[in-house]
Structure 1
Amino acid sequence: MAVPTFLNRNVSDLCVGKPALKPLSAAATVSEALALLNKSSEPHVSVWSCDHSKNVLEDECECRCVGKICMVDVICFLCKNENSDNLSKALETSVSQILPKGNLIVRHLAPNSSLLEAIDYILEGTQNLVIPVQNYIGGKSRKTQSKSSSLSCKHRDGIEYCWLTQEDVVRFLLNFIGVFSPITTSSIESLNIIDCNVMTIRYHEPAMSALDPLTLAHVEQTSVAVVDDLDRLIGEISPSTLAYCDETAAAAIMTLSAGDLLAYIDCGGPPEDLVDLVKVILQEKKLGALLELMDEELSLSSSSSCSVSSCSSDDELGVCRNNNGSGRYASARRAEAITCYPNSSLVAVMIQALAHRASSVWVMHEDNTLIGCVTFKGILKVFRSLANARPITR
């Protein structure tokens, strides 16, 4: 099969309309990152390392995106015993210290690179491709005159960047789905893209026992399945849901069962009875700093709360208004797991994942017992193999 022409298109074509990244300095503290995350409408913030030393010319400054940070990184960091015992010290830790080590999650890519090259990077483990934002009138990289702060990096020549995600690429490919027919109507089982090596936790087990799997799921863009004793899927602890929580979710992970955590992080905000339970257990464990953090966040939430609570018409897509008013939970995807079956077609799973903004879809038997999952990365493997092109030389 010849390589479809659109796979050789420049990645800059996918960047039209993408917002510019708000850079956070790698030297910023976790506390400063939290402040930026709580103000941002996006769940992730890009982290940059910029060399602005005096012996380097301004037009030669090396500015590189070295990673991204979201609430999941902060929550998992605060859950560690040494950090929950000394919360103030943990919050003063440099952001660079909590970025995943040894994983090229973020990579720079030239705007004239091909989509096929972008897919190859993703298959190697990249989550976000950092690309200079183009000025489509003059064809030059867009620049910004915004002032830098102690938290942000002012890039070389003021150039702005955006990034492409795995979801962006899959959504783009869906527009050309007919080119790959009839393979895309084949079942996911026949295409051998069901990953059976999934991470699970029992419903009644402490949520804290899923901390390491959750950290790995965050890197691999999957989730931790919550199952019953018969391996039937109950729900999922999803990084994409936790990314819209606040930092007090760390206290919930440290005190609740996996089943209760599902209710705590579901869209709409945590139920009052679970909030009270978390507080009681925090007191028993003498984790006063986390308790104070919860009280502070609840106070901020109540001060900005609305008198009317409601779910939006987009609830089928997993978007729900916070029943405590405004807040990060208002934009969260529901904790309910998105599922399919082995005989589901590739195109059906693609549409399902994109509609629910889910980076992975669980695969089940008819009796709800878990088989595995299909990820965006697995989907892209199919398209890459169909392209029948040689690996790109970089």
Structure 2
Amino acid sequence: MTQPRIAVGPVAAGERSLAPDLARGVMLALIALANSVVYLYGRPYGVRQHIVEDGLLDRVISVLDVTLVDGRAYPMFAALFAYGVVHVYQRQRAAGVDDLETKRLLRRRSRWLVVFGAVHVVLLFPGDILATYGILGFLLVTWQRTADRKLLTAAGLWLLVVALAQGASALLPPSGGARSYFLSFETADPLAALALRPAEWLLTPFGITGVGSAILIGTWAGRRRVLTEPAAHRTLLLRTAVIGLTAAVVGGLPIGLAVGGVWEPTSGLALWGVSALHAVTGVAGGLGYAALIGLVALRVGERRGPVVRALAATGQYSLSCYLFQSVVFVALLMPYTLGLGATLGTAGIAAVALGTWLVSVLLADLLRRTGRRGPAEALLRRLTYRRPTEKMAV
């Protein structure tokens, strides 16, 4: 009787495609900018729970952050996550692993992502995305044989849900300038903050509903190897980058101006409209960012300088770098640590975010140079594939 093939191990460094890794590496800068602003506390809060700024530089950065990053980073992250799941599925099947064993592997990986995310939530960050992606990973397993048209139709229909949910959330009763969610970020007692975080995480998926459409489209793109083979999809990438990023700017600017205090919605309907538009165009923006980086990777080709290699290494170790950001932010910003979240403005916190990301890039490049994997990646691979993984090839 023929024995089924066991799952093959993770991809060796020399076999990796540049575009997905480069996209993940750059994406982490946007994730750092998006996550860091929620650590600001001790001042009145305005639209979208951003602190109300007085300084011109802080207001300008607020407008740019909401227009270009807020609601745009996580859809990009989601699309890349789904793209990676499809790549794992296709690689296992191409190696002769049967469908049942391949899906078992992906479910095991999803379970461990949920565990990683749960630990991240309890110890560090209630806005964690890992557990959400782990849960969605179970759905991705069932979608591997779903027709392309159904995937894209579902992605389009889900945008209606995104618009309704995000528009409605903007109409919640005002809190009089007080924080209305993520109260753990202004809680001085670390044990009390720890107790709050799991319940706060339950609200997180409602704030990032756009990732549903992004995951469906990322699944479709993964099947066509859009980022893995960018030369064959140059026109698609160019159109997606231009249309997606233009939509993100046009759709995000109204609410960005409201956050920056430049414009104030005159009615609840106006606030609903600009909030819904911001969320829907955020999905387009996330896909546009990924497409733009795919074009950059195509232009770079094999001529990879030190910067590109470092950014690609950051993408390879995106899980470790993502968790590293939370460790740094908690150490610097929380009221029970250094408490800088009470004194920094939007511009200052953006500098901290980008500085943290830059340090993670340097650390990832150091790991690459020494032939080691990121610690979180190494652990996840061992738990997923159930056997020790070799050192990364240099």
TM-score normalised over the length of structure 2: 0.25
Larger Rg: 1
The structure that is strand-richer by fraction is 1
Task: Point out which structure has higher relative CO (alpha carbons under 8 A, 6+ apart).
Answer: 2
**Larger helix proportion, structure 1 or 2?**
2
* TM-score, normalisation: structure 1: 0.25
